[in-house]
Chain A
């Protein structure tokens, strides 16, 4: 019983990081109808950059975190400028954008490899002071609580921003119809660039939290989350922010529950993706996906 409760809690922690990764992913998809396959590479760079700032730069993690997140946002602007803007006029921009984002992912990964080396690294001990709380057989660390709190905070902030702020509403307008948005006086290219900034900043934040949580970082750490992130946004409904949050949590939980029930981690990914298929058969548009309301 305690083991199950412990696993549920762990699932919540890792699920919140998946959710944070996925909201950025789904945000760009919602606006551009393009999958930005470099999102996982930004995630990796975010984690490694924060580590470098702490280890080499001697910054506290509380400073390294925002600095790295900001750099990832700027990386997002670069990504948009180099990989997506030049293709926007093309009729096949969805497909060609996919390819050029893969190219950017490879460039970012190579950069990570060149800058930080191929080894697996970790944050120095005591980067974050850790307390452990125990109730019976359940233990929670302060680090886990901080990770969940930060991811939830960022996701809630994003949701509020999109629903209330003027620029957030403009992002939603562009997501719905870019031609109409232009007619309303929205500077669509600027809004898209801004969307990449937010998306990549959140992706970088997820990378840092992921590195802290698993206590390990490597240039290929994006690989494991890339496909999961995609699964999460499909699960939640493409382009849906609450869907991505929920999808992330559901995915995290299904992973740890599989481990708890089968007693091994062999089936973890298989079951998580089986859940994905099951949801898609029952609800092809995902948990919170809407059918697009569009006039012909």
Chain B
């Protein structure tokens, strides 16, 4: 479904991502793990088209989207739920959901907002509150629900567990597994390697902008370097 080929991304003279290649097969969850500053967010943002690629290719369903503008990628079904949630804090929960479906016909969006409020009752209860007044976990739920409002084909999730209480992390990951079971393809970025590897089928380890290791998630879980570098504290 998604193929990233030799992707290099730079901020000014600094190359944050260097010749990275990976794939996400239809219907799978693929994880990128790696330490702070490895370039994970940069990769997702380049796939979303909010940061330009310096070189390399991004191919979606066999179609080169490397130079496509960000809003067209949303229409093409690539949706990112950004790091730190980034709900529109001053707008209401409902408005956030509606804007998630910005590129779809309004009538369908209104219907889907209702469905989303049924699926996440807490969002329905809080529909007229400013999104910024929600708790961190509720905001993460809103951010995911807002992403789903676009009817994505490929969902990019950037550190959905960041800063959440353990119980909330479980809730968020059960939502992720659930939407995956419904057929959604997911590219997940996580610091919580233990949870990420337990959730996904394939994983890539990124360090300083390069892929240093990749394999079946189950295999990486028992890989000694992965255990020592990424799963020390979280097991």
Contact = CB atoms under 8 A, between A and B. Distances in A.
A181 to B, nearest CB: 8
Interface string B35-72: 00000000000001110000000000000000001110
Nearest to A296: B84
B74 A166 contact: no
Looking at chain A, what size class is its interface with the partner chain? Answer: 20 to 34
B5 interface: no
> Secondary structure at chain A's binding surface: helix, strand, loop or mixed?
helix
Interface stretch (A60-68, A172-180, A207-215): A172-180
B99 A183 contact: no
A185 interface: yes
B91 A169 contact: yes
A183 B102 contact: no
Contact of B71 (A186, A294, A295): A186
Contacts of B130: 293
A184 B100 CA distance: 6
B207 interface: no
A183 B84 contact: no
A223 interface: no
A170 interface: yes
B82 A290 contact: no
Contacts of B100: 184
A182 interface: yes
A172 B96 CA distance: 11
Interface in A31-80: none
B194 interface: no
A169 to B, nearest CB: 6
A170 B85 CA distance: 18
Given A185-B74, A185-B75, A180 B102 contact: no
Given A170-B99, A173-B99, A182 B88 contact: no
Interface string B139-151: 0000000100010
A109 to B, nearest CB: 36
B103 interface: yes
B6 interface: no
B214 interface: no
Interface string B84-109: 11101111000100111011001000
Nearest to B100: A184
A187 interface: yes
7 contacts: A172-B91, A176-B88, A176-B90, A180-B86, A183-B48, A183-B50, A293-B130
